Structure 1
Amino acid sequence: MNNIVDTKTDYFNDVLENRATVIVPDEGEQLLLKDIEFTLKVTSEMSNDQLGVYKITLNPMAIGAKLHYHRFMDETFIVDKGELTIQVGEQVFKAGKGAIVYVPRFTPHGFQNDTEEKVELTLLFNPSQKREGFFRGLQETLSEEPIDPKKYLKLYNKYDSFPVDTSNMIPKRD
């Protein structure tokens, strides 16, 4: 008996499918740290690792990240509310509502809130490199007292983040 299955592959026409996701403002997994709130909007799983979209709220005087860079992904910051302080290389910018800061891979950058008001931003990673794991690990690592620098660096490196200065990588004010 011959078990050959005759399958016809159409090389000339697109196969359309509806895989869209609509995420309303209050939807998404929320991760809370002491001074920062992350809401996972478009995840690596949803986008096949192509795009990550996250809402970030920085409380007054909160540090999002010290100077670091990525090897395999680009990062885009869109300021939705407040004034974000962002360092790119040696330059420091004050980015107000509506500002967009595009940070390609291998560009050292860090960001923080230097004001007494909350800062809200949309953060995009392309490709996303399973960034949600980073945020979940960050929640765990930064909740520990004291913060273990070796564990923090291991998490950073696993998710394509490389501190410029490992002696000043923990996001806290000196």
Structure 2
Amino acid sequence: MAKHRPADGPSTPATVALDRAGVTYTRHPYEHDPSAQSYGLEAAEALGVPPAHVFKTLLVDTGKGLAVGVVPVDGQLDLKAVASALGTKAVTMADPAAAERSTGYVVGGISPVGQKRALPTVLDDTAYALEVVYVSGGRRGFDIGLSPADLATVTRALRASIGRRVS
């Protein structure tokens, strides 16, 4: 994977964190359509990659704080599985405003990397079968591609089967 060039997209807290960590990644800006029904599926189409290679960042409320689940955009987050991975009884989806406050990003552009506060993170097991995964780069219309191992390292993610296929 080639190192990025600054002209390949904006500088965001995610790219700054990756640069500081010395992680090799690629930048993928694209024209975001505000009427898109799914940010993730829009990204997969714009990037020309299968939806199973693009991962969405979802925040959950554990009752004691927020945590992050990272799953393919063509699936759903299994709340029971993420609760189990985090060692808690149950989780609910976080309030979008709380997610934005905690991460410093806007919904639809929340990156698992470079959040204002480091949150417990769980990366879906399916990511590890891929050479490159794509996640939000910290803005709508901007994704970054990196190895799942590097994503897990930089976010200190737990590995667990937390995604559910949607038929």
The bucket for the TM-score relative to the shorter chain is under 0.3
Greater share of residues in helix: 2
Greater share of residues in strand: 1
Question: Which one has a bigger Cα radius of gyration?
Answer: 1
> TM-score under structure 2 normalisation?
0.28
